Structure 1
Amino acid sequence: MVARHDLATDPGLQEELLQARRGTAFFARKLNELTDAELDAGTRLPGWTRRHVVAHVGYNARAIARLVEWAATGVETPMYASPEARNQEINFGATLSPIALRNLFDHSAVHLSVEWRDLPDANWANDVRTAQGRTVPASETVWMRTREVWIHAVDLDNGATFNDIPAPVLERLLKDITGAWKTRGTDAGLLVKVMGTAGNGAGLTFGDTTAADPTIITGALPAVVEWAAGRGNSGVTAAGPGAPTQEVPAAPAWI
């Protein structure tokens, strides 16, 4: 008999599941505000229409659900057969009729939520492998989805901004992004400082903290994450050798 509530009992994981579902609901709201004709418009992602973003978010839910199924059964079920297959899937999804595209998002989101709901406590620690080849516990799938729905709700370019994303999500995003830079060594000479009010990331510092004369990027948490994620530089300032005219340099590649 299937569960009617999440089998996970860890309070931290329950909070993460709530944040992922809130992000899904937020994306759904921004999508539902769009008419069918408006799905053809561009987004904050170069080369992608809103159709591409919706298709990506829908198929991403299916891919993450495959990882949860892997954790539940022990049978390896990769997110995608290949990077090429993933791209083909998104391009195909973008050609669907508006009602089919909306159904793809709705049904895939429900499917993923049910897979999470029915995963027993012990299985959340089971290892799965992401599309980037990282081996992670199944619990990481919740963050993977949280990141997708909140950021891509903004990418729909339908009024959502990084200010709409909860501060805990923004902080974790910034840690993820700057961590990826550090792993690749692309943060050399770059210091990122978050300014603002307590509880909104004030005082956070990321990047090359050992640089003698770094390029310093400063701004409130939402603006800094927007810049770091490659979505714009409104609300951030730059100073130092990498910004001699105080122009804000592009952030290093994240993904």
Structure 2
Amino acid sequence: MVARQVLATDPAVLADLAAARLGEAAFRRELSRVDDAGFDGPSLMPGWTRRHLVAHVGYNARALSRLVVWADTGVETPMYASPEARNAEIDLGSTLRPQALRSLAEHAAIELDVRWRDLPEDRWAAPVRTAQGREVPVRETLWLRQREVWLHAVDLGAGLRVRDLPEEFLARLLPDVLGAWSRRGEGAGLRLVSGQRSWGADAAAASSVVCGDLPDLVAWATGRASGPTGDALEWVGEGPRAAPRWL
């Protein structure tokens, strides 16, 4: 039997699909390092056990699959009925047995990958709406899933660190975080600097300049630093301070 091929031909889409699959593999690898008893332990997400985290990652794949169906059929299919429904789903999922949670994460990821594989080339620009209410082309689901699996692979607390994530991913993530701050009117006057690269406010308008390695900047900006003010960072001007909320 001939294997079915990805219908997309856009090189940028194909590159993002490959990156999303790499992130999925990283999450599976980290999850395999957690034994069943470890599911009851805390994740690095405040207030969540690993049970909650794995349920969330699985249900996120299902939610993104709904967006791909929306793009494919033209029938509006939101990620979640409501924020409350999303939270209730995670809470309920966290009560599943470890093997059921492993199966949920694996099978939901496979379903999402199949949806991406079978989406026709002319549908990748179709508009859908994220859980935050932003209208984006469905190709954005590839990036949303990359964020999900890479960061939550770290949040499993099985050994992977932000510093271990691909530099290309980190360099794309940081302006994404700053963009979320800007849309909410937060983070004004912040300038982040790593070597010759910088993000955020222009040098003349910056009231706080945060300097450090890219992984340390990302860890601070996403709330995953060793301390709320980023212990490994150097601050110039106002600060140090905790990063604004990202999502």
TM bracket (short chain): over 0.9
Larger deviation: 204-213 or 37-46? 204-213
Return 5+ residue gaps in structure 1 as ranges. 196-202
Q: Is 1:214 equivalent to 2:207 in the alignment?
A: yes
Give the residue type in structure 2 aligned to 1:231.
Answer: R
More off after superposition, 143-152 vs 155-164: 155-164
Aligned residues: 243
Q: Is the 8 A contact 2:191 2:206 kept in 1?
A: no
Aligned to 1:11: 11
What residue number does 1:93 align with?
93
Measured against aligned partners, the alpha-carbon deviations of 1:100-150 in whole angstroms (never above 9, x if no partner) come to 100000100000000000001000011111111111111011001011000
Aligned 8 A contact 2:190 2:206 in 1: no
What SS is found at the alignment partner of 2:124? Answer: helix
Q: 1:1-255 alignment to 2 at 5 Å?
A: 4-195=4-195, 203-209=196-202, 211-212=204-205, 214-232=207-225, 233-240=230-237, 242-243=238-239, 248-255=240-247
1:60 partner letter: N
After superposition, the C-alpha distances for 1:57-81 in whole angstroms (9 at most, x for unaligned) are 0000000000001111111111000
Task: State the AA in 1 paired with 2:243.
Answer: A
Output the aligned Cα RMSD.
1.6
Contact map agreement 2:189 2:206 (CA 8 A) in 1: yes
- Contact 1:126/1:138 (8 A) holds in 2: yes
> What does the per-residue CA deviation read over 1:136-179, in whole Å, with 9 as the maximum and x for residues that have no partner?
11101100101100011011111111122111111111011111
> SS of the counterpart of 2:95?
coil
Distance 2:187 2:101 in 1: 38
Aligned partners of 1:106 and 1:184: how far apart in 2? 34
Distance 2:88 2:204 in 1: 42
Letter aligned with residue 241 of structure 2? P
Identity of aligned residues (%): 54
Deviation at 1:91, TM superposition (A): 0.5
TM-score normalised by the chain length of structure 2: 0.94
Does the Cα contact within 8 Å between 1:162 and 1:226 map onto a contact in 2? Answer: yes
Aligned with 2:212: secondary structure? Answer: strand
Letter of the 2:140 counterpart: E
Identify if the C-alpha distance between structure 1 residues 124 and 3 changes in structure 2 by more than 3 Å, giving closer, same or farther: farther
Write the letter of the residue equivalent to 2:162: F
User: Distance between the aligned counterparts of 2:206 and 2:8, measured in 1?
Assistant: 47
| C-alpha distance 192-76 of structure 1, shift in aligned 2 (>3 A) | same
Letter aligned with residue 52 of structure 1: H
| Deviations 1:67-100, CA, capped at 9 Å, x for gaps | 0011111111110000000000001111100111
Distance 1:225 1:7 in 2: 34
Q: Is the 8 A contact 1:3 1:117 kept in 2?
A: no
After TM superposition, give the deviation of residue 212 of structure 1 in Å.
Answer: 4.8
Asked if the contact 1:7/1:121 (under 8 Å) is kept, the reply is: yes
Deviations, residues 157-202 of structure 1 (Å, cap 9, x unaligned): 111111221111111110111112222231222211113xxxxxxx
Deviation of 1:214 (Å): 1.9
Q: How far apart in 2 are the matches of 1:180 and 1:210?
A: 20
Q: Name the CA shift for 1:80/1:213 in 2 (closer, same or farther; >3 Å).
A: closer
In structure 1, what is the Cα distance between the partners aligned to 2:184 and 2:204? 16
In the alignment, the residues of structure 2 paired with residue 188 and residue 123 of structure 1 have an alpha-carbon distance, to the nearest angstrom, of: 36
Identify the range of structure 1 (181-190 vs 122-131) with the bigger mean alpha-carbon deviation.
Answer: 181-190
CA distance in 1, matches of 2:184, 2:63: 26
